[in-house]
Amino acid sequence: MPASATNPDPTDAHKHSALNVFAVFLRLGCMSFGGPVAHLGYFRREFVERRRWLSEATYAELLAIAHALPGPGSSQVGFAIGLLRAGWPGACAAWLGFTLPSAILMFGVALSHGVFVNPEGVRLSHALQLVAVAVVAQAVVSMQRTLAPDAMRLLVAAVSAAVVLLLPASVANVTVIVLAAVAGWVVFRKKPLAPLADAKIFFPRSNGLIAGALFCALLGLALVSVVSVAPRPFVLLAAFYRSGALVFGGGHVVLPLLERAFVVPGWIAQDSFLTGYGAAQAMPGPLFTFGAYLGAAMAPAGGEPAYVAAYALLGLAGIFLPGLLAMVAVLPFWTGLRADPSLQAGLLGVNASVVGILAAALVRPLCTSTVHSLADVLIAVAAFAALQFGRVQPWMVVATAVLLALIHGVPL
């Protein structure tokens, strides 16, 4: 596979190294607050607008694939960007860079979980969530101009948002993607369509078949694993894999699955579980790094730090692996099918639905769980204006919100 699937120019090879991919994603992993929807806003700004690593069309298709699959959507999109940019080393570098900061922090929380739940920490978390509202709003506005520019596609986006808000999160995204594809096929199949030359997703089918077979085999082992009264490593790994493989709808939806997997058998206390989940909301990067906290918290008492870290790595591997395998399994076949005119028509509907999905997530859970007062509205609007009209970098908005929270506090 060439070093770059989106730009094969050999003179730019240095730009497509795994080390470069790691550095970019590490920075994003340190500053991408607000959950998976906000992460997708950061990714779009970084890789579509600023660095132009991929086109809007390619990015929209990666979003559509991720929304239709189980697992952590933003991590799957980041993994795919790294894969297309620098092959397998780039994919691993993207996942590691984006995941490492939050994983280290969550491991620290497991060792001393009271640090991030004090009043100052809650205030700081709230400020960062308000920034996330602005980032997602800016992404929705920008993507609407490209992916839903006409009345028909804007209608698809609006209906998609309404369906996502009305249906349970576990089935909403998949339902919307399917319905939008059908709507696009019905409405646009007789319309002359421009070729999707900008969208470049090249990946060997053999790799996809291997990934798909491995996903299914591991899921089968995880489903038939015997539940033990003691959290042995294999049983824990199986529980993490089941949770990661069966969750649709993003990081927040995984909470009840993890609670049933680990709290109900008595492997971790309810208050410790919720403390870690609360701390995860204040972390940058993927919410699935909650797996690092759970793995470390369930390590046998009195273990050496390296032993506890091994359990944290077990949690990370188990919860992330199924979603990444699913993305790899689908990528090569998506590439082949997308050249079909009927599928292109469906993709117009799917891409418009992505705008609706993001808009719905902006409403819930972001706004409903974050915006509680007039001051919150003003802060979110000011941050949106800075991003959309002032072209201020997201990290500057994050830094300003942190300073305001620490110096003056943010009304809760």
Nearest C-alpha neighbor of 386 from the set 373, 377, 396, 372 = 396
Using the predicted structure, report yes or no on whether residue 100 has a pLDDT greater than 80.
yes
As a whole number, mean pLDDT of residues 20-44 equals 89
Question: Residue 71's pLDDT band (boundaries 50, 70, 90)?
Answer: confident
Model confidence band, residue 218 (pLDDT cutoffs 50, 70, 90): very high
Q: What are phi and psi of 325, to 5 degrees?
A: -60, -40
Helix H or strand E segment including 296: helix 290-297
pLDDT by residue (tens digit) across 356-410? 888 888 888 778 878 888 988 998 999 999 988 987 877 788 778 778 777 765 4
* pLDDT of residue 179 exceeding 70: yes
**DSSP category for residue 225:** P
pLDDT at 41: 87
Are 186 and 297 within 8 A, CB to CB?
no
Helix (H, G, I), strand (E, B) or coil at 202: coil
Nearest residue to 98 via CA among 82, 75, 70, 125 = 75
Phi, psi (deg, nearest 5) at residue 253: -70, -20
pLDDT at 307 over 80: yes
Q: What is the 3-state secondary structure (H, E, C) of 236-283?
A: HHHHHHHHHHHCCCCHHHHHHHHHHHHHCCCCCCHHHHHHHHHHHHCC
What is the token pair recorded at 87? 């092959």
Q: Residue 153: is its pLDDT beyond 70?
A: yes
Distance of CA 406 to the CA centre of its chain: 28
DSSP assignment string, 132-154: HHHHHHHHHHHHHHHHS-SHHHH
